[in-house]
Amino acid sequence: MPTIELNIPTNTKYNEQELKEFLVAKLYEEGMISTGIGAKMLNISKRDFMLLLSKYDVYYIDYDLSDYEKKIISNAPSL
């Protein structure tokens, strides 16, 4: 896996770990990495990574409203 180096200003309110978590969460949100890769990048379990996503307002399950509607309609009993 490639490594990048980023110089963070000392006056930022976030520490290095929080910035790393944020970046990995956003990579997941954009569909660029999986939960497994995200967990590996942060050296945590997949479960902990899924829990961490909410800290950065990233949803583990990303369904569009129309997906829910299709699922509900396709599973509705016939009258």
pLDDT digits (tens, 9 = 90+) for 4-56: 888 878 888 888 899 999 999 999 999 999 999 999 999 999 999 999 999 99
7 in a structural domain: no
1 in a structural domain: no
Question: For residue 70, what pLDDT is reported?
Answer: 74
Overall number of domains in the chain? 1
pLDDT digits (tens, 9 = 90+) for 50-79: 999 999 999 877 556 676 677 777 776 766
11 in a structural domain: no
Q: By three-state DSSP, how is residue 77 classified?
A: coil
Backbone torsion region of residue 78, taken as left when φ is above 0, otherwise alpha when ψ lies between -120 and 50, otherwise beta: beta
- Please give the residue range of the domain that contains residue 32: 16-75
Backbone torsion region of residue 71, taken as left when φ is above 0, otherwise alpha when ψ lies between -120 and 50, otherwise beta: alpha
10 in a structural domain: no
6 in a structural domain: no
Phi first, then psi, for residue 65 (nearest 5°) are -55, -40
Question: For residue 68, what pLDDT is reported?
Answer: 66
52 in a structural domain: yes
What's this model's pTM, rounded to 2 decimal places?
0.71
Question: For residue 69, what pLDDT is reported?
Answer: 72
